[in-house]
Amino acid sequence: MLPLPADAKILVCGPAAHNMRPLLGGWSYSWQGNLVNEFTEGYSTIYEAIRDLSSVPGHIELLEGVIYSDTGEFRNERKRKPELLAGKAAKADYIVICAGENSYTEFSGNDTGLDLSDNQKELIRIAASTGKPVILVLVQGRPRIIRPVEPLAKAILNAYLPGNYGGEALARILFGETNPSGKLPYTYPKYSYSLEPYYHKHTEALKIKGVPRGTAAEPQYPFGFGLSYSRFVYSELKPAKKEYHPGETVRVSVKLQNNSGREGMETVQVFV
């Protein structure tokens, strides 16, 4: 589905579509990040960056559908005319939904679960019901559970907290000017409370009260997962020798081939 044509008609939706605050997170310009929009006038939101990079003026429209509150707790949000989405989508080739979470830090960012908000899940379902391809952009500081809506998206970009220039970077990826190459440095959970905390100190207890053991759930995406616009093929994996002793450096070689017409980068991951 990605990258999108430069002349595509795109409807940009979601609470992070036209708001700099979620792009920066907490401790950005202010403690909870609530003052970010007062100091980022010279930077582009995701919607503005997509609009400016489009090759045809007027092909990019905005309908947030859900907006974050600039005051109060980070989880406060409200609907903004999601019922208009179907009408707007009729003129679009694609729908880009910028979802996730608002800025937060310290105790004010404590949450009872990782689930994406009901408002945002409803917005994604409405968008998918139009029949137009949905591209989901996740702007978040922690992995929100997307299991109920993940099948509705034709492509997903996990942007994390990309900063002042995050909108421009995302637009370049969406239109194919930049080839994504990131890999997950953790296992993306499919269910809330499905991951054990990683307390890997030998001085600590092997069992943690209240944390079930041996009940690992299927992940949404495994550690190291990440796609690209290029197609890489691995072959001829060979260790330098068959046996290694403690303290020795393990060396392997592998042939990596880019079988696409697009230049790209690939992180070769080796697990022993």
Which one has a higher pLDDT value, 169 or 207?
169
Amino acid at 226: G
Mean pLDDT for 74-90 is 85
Which of 151-178 are b and which e, b meaning 16 or more Cβ less than 10 Å from the residue's Cβ? ebbebbbbbbbbbbebbbbbbbbbbeee
Task: Indicate if 164 and 266 belong to the same structural domain.
Answer: no
Same domain, 118 and 21: yes
Considering the domain architecture, whether residues 148 and 246 belong to the same structural domain is answered as no
Q: Of 223, 201, 214, 220, give the one whose Cα is nearest residue 271.
A: 223
For 248, the domain range is: 232-272
The pTM of the full predicted model, rounded to 2 decimals, is: 0.89
Domains held by the chain: number: 2
pLDDT one-digit tens code per residue, 50-79:
999 999 999 999 999 999 877 666 678 888
11-15, 93-97, 211-215, 230-234: which range is least confident on average? Answer: 211-215
SS3 assignment, position 190: coil
What's the Rg (C-alpha) of the chain? 21
Q: What is the mean pLDDT of the chain?
A: 90
3-state secondary structure of 174: helix
How far is C-alpha 118 from the chain's CA centre? 18
Between CA 237 and CA 223 the distance in angstroms is 20
22 within domain boundaries: yes
Cβ-contact 132, 89 below 8 angstroms: yes
Asked if residue 156 is part of any domain, the answer here is yes
Distance, in Å, from the CA atom of 141 to the CA atom of 102, rounded to the nearest integer, reads 9
In a shared domain, residues 118 and 246: no
> What CA–CA distance (Å, rounded) separates 97 from 12?
6
CATH of the domain at 90: 3.40.50.1700
pLDDT at 29 over 90: no
Give domain status of residue 226, yes or no: no
With residue 257 as reference, give the H or E element that holds it.
Answer: strand 252-258
Residues 168 and 92 in one domain: yes
> What does the DSSP 8-state code read for residue 152?
G
Amino acid identity for residue 161 in this structure = L
Amino acid at 3: P
Residue 32 falls inside a structural domain:
yes
Amino acid at 112: T
**For the chain, percent of residues with pLDDT exceeding 90:** 68
Kindly state the average pLDDT of the residues 203-218: 62
User: pLDDT band for position 111 (50/70/90)?
Assistant: confident
* pLDDT at site 31: 82
- Confidence band for 49, pLDDT divided at 50, 70 and 90: very high
With a cut of 60, say whether residue 41 has pLDDT above it: yes
pLDDT value at 113 more than 90 = no
Residue 202 within a domain: no
Residue 118 has pLDDT above 70, yes or no: yes
